[in-house]
Amino acid sequence: MYLTKDEERMLNGEMGYAARKSMEILRALGDIYGADLLIKVGSVQVAGVSYHNLGDAGLEFLNELARDGRVKVLTTLNPAGMDLENWQNLGISEDFAAKQNLIIDAFKRMGILISCTCTPYLIGNLPRFGEHVAWSESSAVTFANSVIGARTNREGGPSALAAAFVGKTPRYGLHLDENRVPNVHVKVNASLTKLSDWGALGYVIGKKAENKISYITGIKEAELDELKSFCASVVTYGAQPLFYMQGITPGAENQPLPRESVTVEDRDIKEAYDNINDQVTDIELVCVGCPHCSIKEIAEIAELLKGKEVAEGTEFWVATSRTAKQLADRRGYTETIEQAGAKFACDTCMAVAPLKGRFKSLATTSAKGCFYSRQNKMLTKMGSLRECVEAAVKGQWT
């Protein structure tokens, strides 16, 4: 891979430890994937923030980089393992909180915005159409590529950090036109009536498209919350963080319609629910906000919870960004939600908080949430916001 004089100086260690480490990572990646050079990125989004996933080795790695590493572009963070302000309320241990705070301190020293959300595009990290970025959270990567029309590979935590310190990423994969051509036409002939149907649709398309890039037709309209749910699901159950949706993806009309095709019918959506839903009635945790809730979803939850109470023995978490929560505070949604006994889980989510062994069953709106909660040994139910609120109030899925 061609390096400029400055990049070579970084690689030689003339610009400090973090710059050298970063250039080593970027050059190795570039060599593996056949990149010709490094290109500038407009922003970075870093995953691998929870102490639950990083452990002490990860903390040490970050502390080393934080000695002299300072980000060169807008850099935001994925969810951490706890609500940074209100972790006691979520039952997080003091030991875990202490370690998580050390990780956050390291990111702060690097100059990273402590946003802790998987919806960076809702809180100010919003790329332009065609802009190259280096993001790592899979749902956000898919949203950036497919809804915004920006260009990013699915970075790992270290390669995203390296891109942040250098301000560049190797040019390969989804940064190149030739790798962004759709190769399977997905004809959707199913009705989507509630938010969770979009997660089910992502499940079906993820599986049917296998490792191909989908060109999706048949969807007349899609709201932002539906798209973010679909993005999370399609990349969790499939392989590609890029799809084209006719009428939604900017520039979709310039892509060729692939010859190979698959269809999605109502029966596929039903089958997806059958596969995602376990045989369970008693619900110990209801968690909505995967990806993190928008203010619109929080408003809907507040409306549904008005005058109700979360059942004893059940917890109801609303996972969202701190920015959305602050807006909810001002609009009175927080008061309504907390009066009903539900809790905000800002900065974190059901997949990265240390939940294993704490809850046996989960209800959620999110197909991706079910995937990760099963890894945490929970039985799962997926349904609409209304069904989730009902499950929280009754302590049961009916």
Q: Contact 103/54 with Cβ under 8 angstroms?
A: yes
Question: Nearest approach, Cβ of 352 to ligand F3S (angstroms)?
Answer: 6
Listed in sequence order, the residues at least 6 apart from 95 whose beta carbon sits closer than 8 Å to its beta carbon are none
Structure token digits, residue 268: 């596929």
Q: Which is nearer to ligand F3S, 73 or 349 (CB)?
A: 349
Question: Nearest approach, Cβ of 118 to ligand F3S (angstroms)?
Answer: 3
Question: Nearest approach, Cβ of 173 to ligand F3S (angstroms)?
Answer: 21
Q: Which is nearer to ligand F3S, 30 or 48 (CB)?
A: 48
Listed in sequence order, the residues at least 6 apart from 362 whose beta carbon sits closer than 8 Å to its beta carbon are 283, 284, 285, 286, 287, 350, 369, 370, 373, 378, 379, 380, 381
Q: Which is nearer to ligand F3S, 214 or 236 (CB)?
A: 236
Question: Nearest approach, Cβ of 355 to ligand F3S (angstroms)?
Answer: 11
Q: Contact 362/395 with Cβ under 8 angstroms?
A: no
Question: Nearest approach, Cβ of 26 to ligand F3S (angstroms)?
Answer: 25
Listed in sequence order, the residues at least 6 apart from 49 whose beta carbon sits closer than 8 Å to its beta carbon are 77, 78, 79, 80, 81, 103, 104, 107, 116, 157, 352
Cα-flanking dihedrals φ and ψ of residue 78, to 5°?
-75, 170
d(CA 349, CA 355) in angstroms, rounded, equals 10
Q: Which is nearer to ligand F3S, 192 or 362 (CB)?
A: 362
Q: Which is nearer to ligand F3S, 134 or 362 (CB)?
A: 362
Place of tokens 């050390």: 102
Residue type, 169: T
Q: Contact 124/353 with Cβ under 8 angstroms?
A: no
Q: Which is nearer to ligand F3S, 66 or 290 (CB)?
A: 290
Binding region for ligand F3S (CB under 6 A)? 78-79, 118, 137, 139, 232, 290-292, 319, 349, 351-352, 368-369, 372
Question: Nearest approach, Cβ of 42 to ligand F3S (angstroms)?
Answer: 21
Question: Nearest approach, Cβ of 371 to ligand F3S (angstroms)?
Answer: 8
Sheet holding 379-382, edge to edge: 343-346, 315-320, 285-293, 361-364, 379-382
